[in-house]
Structure formats: C-alpha cells, structure tokens
A = this chain, B = another copy of it.
Amino acid sequence: MEKKKTTIILFSGDYDKAMAAYIIANGAAAYDHEVTIFHTFWGLNALRKDEPIQTKKSFIEKMFGKMMPRGADKLGLSKMNFAGMGPKMIKEVMKKHNAMTLPQLIDMAREQDVKLIACTMTMDLLGLKEEELLDNIEYAGVAAYLADAEEGNVNLFI
C-alpha cells in the first residue's frame, strides 16, 4: 500500500508558526506519512545556521542577511512578540512543561526522515546561500512542491 503524504509550505518566519509546522510534520511522520516541509520566504530563516557565515553578497543581500533572524532559535512570535519578551516567556513555559524547542523539533524531523526543502527562488531573492543553511537539506522550486502536493493527503500553507 502506498504511504500517505503530508506536505507543508512553511512561508512564515515566526517561532510559533514554525513550531506548529514541525509538530504537525513530526506527528505525521510518526503516523507513517511521507512528509515534506518546503521552506520559502521567511520560513527559510528556520533553516539558517546560527553562526555568521562568510559569503559574497551584494549590499541589499547583506542588509536582508543582517535583518533576518539567524536560525530557528532566533525567530520571533507572530503575536505578542513584545520586542522579544514573548519568545522568552514561551520558552520558559516550554521548559517547565518539557515541551520540545523548535531546534529540537527540527532535529527530530530529520531523524524521522522528514524531507526539508529550501526554495531556491526565494533564496535568490533574499540573498541566502547554501552554505548559510543547515547541511543535508534539499534545494528545489515550486515544481517539486507541486509534484509532492498533488499526491498529498494533508497539504498546508503555514
């Protein structure tokens, strides 16, 4: 029997929305779905390495690079961000409840073979280079997303 499929477009660069995406992805993988998360626009920031990487960039690319959060742990909240207070509060409560942090959720997704894709077109737009993103992810465009999604049982845009 063919495996069920879940595909998620992660467009948002918010900590809470990325958490939701990875919780659903991990749940679906545990349910034995084939799962893809296609990271585009601000969602690419969840895949950035947290250390600065030396790359050749134009002026605007450098500006985008500096202004965007460097990696999953640095993302803000979609609501009640309060200049960074919100994420601290959420993370405090998560620790108390032994909930997994976003970086841990991403690690778990990789262990469960969730396919993590970075959208090459928006990487170009935002000036993000492959060496700035996590190792061992895939690079593709909208055609690859559609090929997965048209067979998908659960397709979400987050």
Interface residues of chain A, those whose CB is within 8 Å of chain B, are: 4, 6, 9, 11-13, 16-17, 20, 23-24, 27-28, 31, 33, 40-42, 58, 60-61, 63-64, 67-68, 78-80, 89-90, 92-94, 96-97, 99, 121, 124-127, 142-143, 145-146, 149-158
The distance in angstroms between the C-alpha atoms of A67 and B89, with both chains bound, is 12
Q: State how many copies of this chain the complex holds.
A: 3
Residues in B with CB closer than 8 Å to A68 are 80
Assess the A31–B146 pair: CB atoms within 8 A: yes
The distance in angstroms between the C-alpha atoms of A158 and B28, with both chains bound, is 19
Residues in B with CB closer than 8 Å to A27 are 142-143, 145-146
Are A60 and B153 also in contact (CB < 8 A) when A67-B80, A79-B42, A97-B125 are?
A: no
